[in-house]
Amino acid sequence: MFSKLLQIWKIKDLRKNILFVLTMLVVFRLAAHIPVPGVNVEALREIFSNNQILGLMNIFSGGGMQNFSIVMMGVAPYITSSIIFQLLGMIIPKLEDMQKEESGRQKINMWTRWATVPLAFMQSYGMITLLRRSSYDILGSISNFDLFAMIITISAGTILLMWIGELITEKNIGNGISLLIFAGIVANLPQVLQNVITTYDPSKLPVIIGFLAITIITVVGVVIINEGQRNIPVQYARQVRGNRVHGGTSTHLPLRVNMAGVIPIIFAIAVVMFPPMIAQFFMHAKTTWIVSASEWVIGAFNNQLIYGILYFVLVFAFTYFYTEVVFHPDRIAENLQKQGGFIPGIRPGKNTSDYLGNVTYKIIFVGALFLAVIAVLPLIMRYFTGINSLAIGGTSLLIVVAVVIETVKQIESQLTMREYEGG
């Protein structure tokens, strides 16, 4: 391991790229601690500690939301914009064709950046309105000018993070957006450890040991599921062209257990937080039944059992949905047929497409079930231990492990490429 680190450090370009990425992450963390003026930070942290949904939103903002910082929305608007264009690619054939070409993907990326701006305005306005109408005195009385200034500042923070994320991605040291979320999660670890130490009770030592054991098992499970795949054998027919024989080779088609990554959890969070957020806007309505309905919705989603079941079902369902978006067995079957490839025992064309679809649905069940359990793991731990400070952030753990694996792979690929060029 140390020899590998020394090897990385000796390569000048790679060393400069890593130092640049670390510098950008430091800039992000500094921005996450610059609060927007006129905010009661203590009341804000209290509402985040008592609201599971806001806590999840804080994860994807990189931890800036809890401080009401200038980057409080994090990269959430950019992620939302990316998801919208991915879904539009399923509906609009022209966008689907553009996604297959490099120039088309560049245009879509440009449109995604432009769409991030209005989304940042809308999401920051919605979050400010939600906090203003909460029972906590977070913002107090602010003028329309102050509100507009807050929205401009927070939206500019999102654009800054989007730019930083793309700069990091260009260095080929992991995905920039994922690394920003990763940095926000890791930055909260000292505070979590401090809470554990300050609330330590010798009688709960077995619980803490059990918690650590479950954490290790969870990390191992995340690695296994994230790297797990089923290899479908593929045979290429021999083709004689002149005096040369082409093909006749055997290979495999890898089908990943978790093709969707953490996208289903992001989808589920967006759906789960939408009803109570809308209900907050009607808490002060003049009609009695609207106020009662709003209170019922907020109370239902604050119920840990209802919230946990709904969250579990949504993550499970969205895993299948997003896999349907990104995985196209008919295209794979068509490409195999054009290249003279086939799956032994399966006829080319529609039979191959149906076979790949059936295999995918079966293996995705394991990935969907795992993601759903990971998502509700904090609730399960809190129920059995009764210790809030020890609740495993299953989603956070999944993101951290996935980002570390992706970053290590990119660094190793660069090392391999330089060794090849040097040889």
**62 in Cβ contact with 28 (< 8 Å):** yes
Q: Which domains does the chain have, with CATH numbers?
A: 1-187 (1.10.3370.10), 199-392 (1.10.3370.10)
Give residues with Cβ within 8 angstroms of 354, minimum separation 6.
329
Q: What's the whole-number mean pLDDT along residues 268-275?
A: 74
**Sequential DSSP letters for 278-327:** HHHHTTT-SSHHHHHHHHHHHHHHHSHHHHHHHHHHHHHHHHHHHHHHH-
**Tokens 């500019």 belong to which residue?**
156
pLDDT given for residue 160 in this prediction:
92
Mean pLDDT of the chain: 78
Burial status of residue 364 (CB atoms within 10 A of its CB: 0-12, 13-18, 19 or more): buried
* pLDDT at residue 196, rounded to an integer: 64
Which distant-in-sequence residues (6+ apart) come within 8 Å of 172 by Cβ? 17, 410, 414
Residue 283 predicted with pLDDT over 50: yes
- pLDDT recorded at residue 176: 84
Write the DSSP symbol of residue 239. Answer: E
| pLDDT per residue as tens digits for the range 16-62 | 888 898 999 899 888 888 888 777 777 776 776 666 666 666 666 65
The rounded radius of gyration (Å) of the Cα atoms in the chain is 24
Amino acid at 308: G
pTM: 0.76
Q: For 155-213, write each residue's pLDDT tens digit.
A: 999 999 999 988 998 888 878 888 888 888 787 777 666 766 676 667 667 767 777 77
Express each pLDDT in 334-356 by its tens digit.
Answer: 888 887 778 888 888 888 888 88
pLDDT digits (tens, 9 = 90+) for 286-336: 778 888 888 788 777 777 788 788 888 988 988 888 888 778 888 888 888
